[in-house]
Structure 1
Amino acid sequence: MASGGPNLECRMYESRYPEVDMAVMIQVKNIADMGAYVSLLEYNNIEGMILFSELSRRRIRSVNSLIRVGRTEPVMVLRVDKEKGYIDLSKRRVSEEDIAQCEERYNKSKLVHSIMRHVAETMNMDLEDLYVHIGWPLYRKYGHAFEAFKNVVNDPDTILDALTYEVKETGSDGQEVTKVVHAVTPEIKDALVKNIKRRMTPQPLKIRADIEMKCFQFDGVLHIKEAMRKAEAAGTDECPVKIKLVAPPLYVLTTQTLDKEQGISTLSKAIVACTEEIERHKGKLVVKDAPRTVSERDDKLLQDVMDKLRMNNEEKSGDEDSEEEEDTGMGDVDVENAGFHD
């Protein structure tokens, strides 16, 4: 940070220190003779210590197997000496429930902190000032500023325009008066809303199911195409269903939606419709992987497989005219020309 610039370092919460028996997120900085020195990530990296006796309920055979420099994890607060700045922590006393709650809170707080820090930097103001007038009041009102920020996505005026604070001024008569002013200026509001919408607008989930579909009857390929149409017809405007051939007899069904349960339900109905149609022609459908959410990495792996298969097919001569494939009813269906879209 350049000299004379805004101070962009600040704790995430209004309290300068955590409460005893509270789970906090730490990062291990150094391992000494008595224990490990750590930084409390939610409290502007103030220092705490975990004694070796507080690492595990079991006998310690290797400290490195329990704690390592650079590791980030939740621990329990045992003692806080605010005057001396000592914070004693325990790893062995934190429960699975504490860990889950701490991780959830920290992930929300980290996102809020990132947005607040970016706005403070953009507006050339101290981060703590932004927290004093905006962040911490939202924590008090909504339980967590993350919940308030979620509402800002759709209704910024109601959330941000309600924030005020008092300032004392000297009137024309020399008397001190208290004045209520808006905490969020139009410039800060614009910067906040843009950052919040960019970072917190819900992204659609991709739901995928993998199936195997075969039909050995005459015109089996046509029956498979019709079953694919039935699957896509089961989709809705909110959850459109797409089906794609990977390599005979493997197909994938996908949909995108903000509602995970709705997406899984829609794909399940599409599989039922597809199954009924192919079985009507004595074909068979087997679900290899039930509908579930998939990541961008999963999508990339699938695309890599499809690209590799496509290249292999292009290298083989006469694939398009293979009578054997046509007879089996499992040939390489031209999904695009059959009326299906990627």
Structure 2
Amino acid sequence: MDSNKWPEVGEFVVCEVKNVTDFGAYTALEEYDGKEGFIHISEIKAGWVKYVRDHVREGQKIVCKVLNVDTSRRHIDLSLKDVNDHQKRAKIQDWKNEQKATKWLQFVAEESKLDEKKLQKLEDTLLDEFGSNYTAFEEAAIQGEEAFEDVKISKKIAATIVKLAQENIKLPYVEIAGYVDLTNSAPNGIELIKMALEEANEIDMEGVRLNITYTGAPRYRIRVIAPDYKTAEAVLKDSADTAIAKIEQLGGKGAFHRHIEATRS
């Protein structure tokens, strides 16, 4: 981890309690190279705190909110009381996921023979593009190598990440399908139908895959894979409505038929 990296004010961080005193607790920030943070007794718990040790103890992992960062003094002020249970659970899960991703990236480095400097560059690239290393693996599990089309990494590294992601991340999803009948009697009707289908295929939503295939004139199948039925149905409807609206705008006709089968994984 870059030793010059510091947390942002308002950020939630995972800490290990190192030393408990009468006036607060000193911690090491797990995600920031063990940098020291301090929780004043007034930030331990809402209300009056008599003994800090009644609420935190050495060796305990806790989630805190960053109140202030002074890089010149290398001092970080933290709050424990400003973190609710939901925020704590979400942060711990994110932290665990990032730990997994770090291990997977070590394997990627071994497979691709990356030295420490190149591995750091890869991590920085993934962080810039996806916001976190785990999100990069998550996108790889969903989209395959398509997730890295516009990312400046080699095809070999992308393929290794995809392989690891699909082996280790089990994403729940549902698959649904529907059909649109598109016709246009104009001399260039086929081209106009293609235009309508291209627009329908441009419906874009994070974590969703959309695919349109020809099944036999005048019918086209719209297949949607999404995290849940509500999202899948919304994308299917948007895609079908877009195709129909476009073909009608171009002087043709369109109709939607919902396919009743659906699968869940």
Give the number of aligned pairs: 178
- Matching of residues 246-265 of structure 1 within 5 Å: none
- Aligned counterpart, 2:29: 40
TM-score by length of 2: 0.55
Query: Which letter does structure 2 place at the counterpart of 1:146?
Result: Y
| Counterparts in 2 of 1:67 and 1:118: CA distance versus 1, 3 Å | farther
| Counterparts in 2 of 1:43 and 1:122: CA distance versus 1, 3 Å | farther
Unaligned runs of 5+ residues in structure 1 are 1-9, 165-182, 205-258, 262-342
- Aligned counterpart, 1:193: 162
1:195-217 CA distance string (max 9 Å, x none)? 3233214489xxxxxxxxxxxxx
| Counterparts in 2 of 1:104 and 1:196: CA distance versus 1, 3 Å | same
TM-score by length of 1: 0.44
1:30-63 CA distance string (max 9 Å, x none)? 2245432211112222221222232112222332
Query: Which letter does structure 1 place at the counterpart of 2:48?
Result: R
Matched, 1:86 2:75: yes
Query: Which letter does structure 1 place at the counterpart of 2:95?
Result: Y
Distance in 2, Cα, partners of 1:35 & 1:75: 13
Matched, 1:158 2:158: no
Identity across matched positions, percent: 24
Q: Identify which of 173, 184, 207 aligns with 2:154.
A: 184
1:188-247 CA distance string (max 9 Å, x none)? 44543343233214489xxxxxxxxxxxxxxxxxxxxxxxxxxxxxxxxxxxxxxxxxxx
- Aligned counterpart, 2:91: 102
Matched, 1:50 2:19: no
Distance in 1, Cα, partners of 2:19 & 2:106: 27
8 Å CA contact 1:117–1:127 kept in 2: the answer is no
Q: Identify which of 8, 14, 21 aligns with 1:25.
A: 14
- Aligned counterpart, 1:315: none
- Aligned counterpart, 2:129: 141
Larger Rg: 1
| Counterparts in 2 of 1:124 and 1:38: CA distance versus 1, 3 Å | farther
CA RMSD of aligned residues (A): 3.4
Distance in 2, Cα, partners of 1:20 & 1:154: 33
| Counterparts in 2 of 1:162 and 1:23: CA distance versus 1, 3 Å | same
| Counterparts in 2 of 1:52 and 1:44: CA distance versus 1, 3 Å | same
Q: How much has 1:146 moved relative to structure 2?
A: 2.6
Unaligned runs of 5+ residues in structure 2 are 174-226, 230-265
Q: How much has 1:87 moved relative to structure 2?
A: 1.0
Matched, 1:73 2:62: yes
Query: Which letter does structure 2 place at the counterpart of 1:57?
Result: A
8 Å CA contact 2:145–2:162 kept in 1: the answer is no
8 Å CA contact 1:160–1:184 kept in 2: the answer is no
Q: How much has 1:27 moved relative to structure 2?
A: 1.2
Distance in 2, Cα, partners of 1:260 & 1:132: 35
